[in-house]
Amino acid sequence: MNMLYNNCEFESYSSTTSPLEHFSSEDFVCFKSTNEASDELLEALQDDKTRLIGLYGKRGSGKTTLVQVVGRILVILDDVREMVDPEDFGIPCNDNRCKVLLTSRQRLQEPTFMECQGRMIHLNALSKDEAWTLLQKYSDINDESPSDILNVALEIVNECEGLHSTIKD
């Protein structure tokens, strides 16, 4: 990789990043709690000084889904559990030719970024209202459902702690 990188001329590529709603699909719903992290993520992607971007949050909070929705030109390292140097993978951090986005369940320490200009973004869990909306999307339950079903559904929303994957499953 390094030999190819050193011997080749690459043109710098950049594009205007659209709001997250532009990337939304049937599999992804943009909530207020997701919006804050996604806005920071899109801002970091547009910042020429930022070379490495970290997104962290609880298991099941939607990190992978969010970066898959946003990350169609990016190098994505998903579920990173220890310090990494992107240059070990042949990914140069000393110019603006490539952006690296990693996800982790916890905030990684700054030395993870080595000489790269890094930025860490936290993805919060869904609020109770957002979790309820997501549960309704993936079930036949609505406000008109029988009260015993609504009570069980509300218990499920509380037990899932606002985590996308546990609500969808």
Strands 75-77 and 52-56: unpaired
pTM above the 0.85 mark?
no
What is the average pLDDT value for the chain, to the nearest integer? 75
Terminal-to-terminal C-alpha distance of the chain: 40
Q: How confident is the model at residue 92, as a pLDDT?
A: 65
For the beta carbon of residue 79, count every other beta carbon within 10 angstroms.
Answer: 11
Q: How confident is the model over 20-74, as pLDDT tens digits? A: 554 445 566 778 878 888 889 889 888 888 888 889 999 988 888 888 777 657 7
Note the maximum CA span of the chain: 68
Please check the confidence at residue 2 and state whether its pLDDT lies above 60: no
Q: How confident is the model at residue 151, as a pLDDT?
A: 93
Contacts by residues 83-86 (CB-CB < 8 Å, ≥ 24 positions apart): 83/108, 83/109, 83/111, 83/112, 84/112, 85/114, 86/51, 86/52, 86/114, 86/116
